[in-house]
Amino acid sequence: MYGPMQIESRIDQDQNISKDLTLWNQQGSHVLRGNIIALPVTNGFLYVESIYIQASEARMPQLKKVVLAIGDRLIYRDTFEQAFAELTGSSAPAKPGVAAASTPASASAAGAPTAKGQELPALAERLRRMREEAEGLARELETLEKEAGKK
């Protein structure tokens, strides 16, 4: 079972992710990686990490990608919904031309929870609520920064 540091290393070593981080972390912009969140699921953990880009002149970073990791699977998508849909095998609108950070096909189901039908919807709801709370806090922070700039 992988721990948070091993997941961070796997993210750093993935060719698709590494290429994007290098490209985005150039003049005028800076890549910010969110804290990795470990959520317990049957037989392991689901790890979630957000990747943001912040322009030099901007105060608020912009969500660029989301990485989900469970077992041997590493999923790299534009939104949490897309990544979670791929993880659970449910249908969700995917943006064309987005490539996953791939693992061998035989490993695709290796880390999936056994109680997928019961546990993953509850986990999805919990993550949705956490994301909404984080977005609300970001909006509040932006408002406070604007007010502080006026004074």
Q: Please provide the average confidence, as pLDDT, over all residues in the chain.
A: 78
What is the pLDDT averaged over residues 121-148?
Answer: 75
* Rounded-to-integer distance, Cα 151 and Cα 140, Å: 17
The secondary structure of 77-133, three-state, reads ECCHHHHHHHHHCCCCCCCCCCCCCCCCHHHCCCCCCCCHHHHHHHHHHHHHHHHHH
Of the candidates 38, 20, 39, which has an alpha carbon nearest to the alpha carbon of residue 29? 20
What global pTM score does this model have? 0.61
Identify the H or E element spanning 144.
Answer: helix 116-150
pLDDT digits (tens, 9 = 90+) for 65-93: 999 999 889 999 999 999 999 988 876 55
In the block, residue with structure tokens 């999923």: 75
Cβ atoms 127, 84 nearer than 8 A: yes
What is the pLDDT averaged over residues 90-103?
Answer: 47
Task: Output 68 or 110, whichever has higher pLDDT.
Answer: 68
Percent of the chain scoring above 70 in pLDDT? 77
Q: What is the pLDDT at residue 20?
A: 92
Q: What is the pLDDT at residue 39?
A: 92
The radius of gyration of the chain's CA atoms, rounded to the nearest angstrom, is 17
Task: Output 101 or 2, whichever has higher pLDDT.
Answer: 2
* Rounded-to-integer distance, Cα 2 and Cα 8, Å: 10
